[in-house]
Amino acid sequence: MAMEERLRAVRAGVRCFPDFPVPGVLFRDISPLLKDPVAFRALIDLLEDHLRTSLPPIDFIAGGCSPGQSTVCRCCPGGRCGETPPRGARRYRSPWVSSELQPVA
């Protein structure tokens, strides 16, 4: 899918509600985007393209997750980089491993 097609698919998946919750605010609902597999795939592809051109190579992505579902893996399609959900030691059933994050120069 070409970039323009991806952008159109993503734009079509975002609903706008002007003056919600108060006048002057434009609320954008991404629920339809998350429900549409084609639009969601287009969003992930655009994000991946942006990250590849804007940052050095990525080894791991750390992101939030809730019990039973990971949202991080959607940003690492095809296993091109690792993923890790940042959680506290009390939530792991196996021994917890600690590591320090190093800032990117």
For residue range 44-59, list pLDDT tens digits in order: 888 888 888 888 877 7
* Mean pLDDT over each residue of the chain, to the nearest integer: 74
Q: Is the pLDDT of residue 12 over 90?
A: yes
DSSP string, the chain: --HHHHHHHHHHT-EEEET-SSTT-EEEE-HHHHH-HHHHHHHHHHHHHHHHHHSSPPSEEE--EETTEESGGGGSGGGSSEEE----GGG-SSPP---PPPPP-
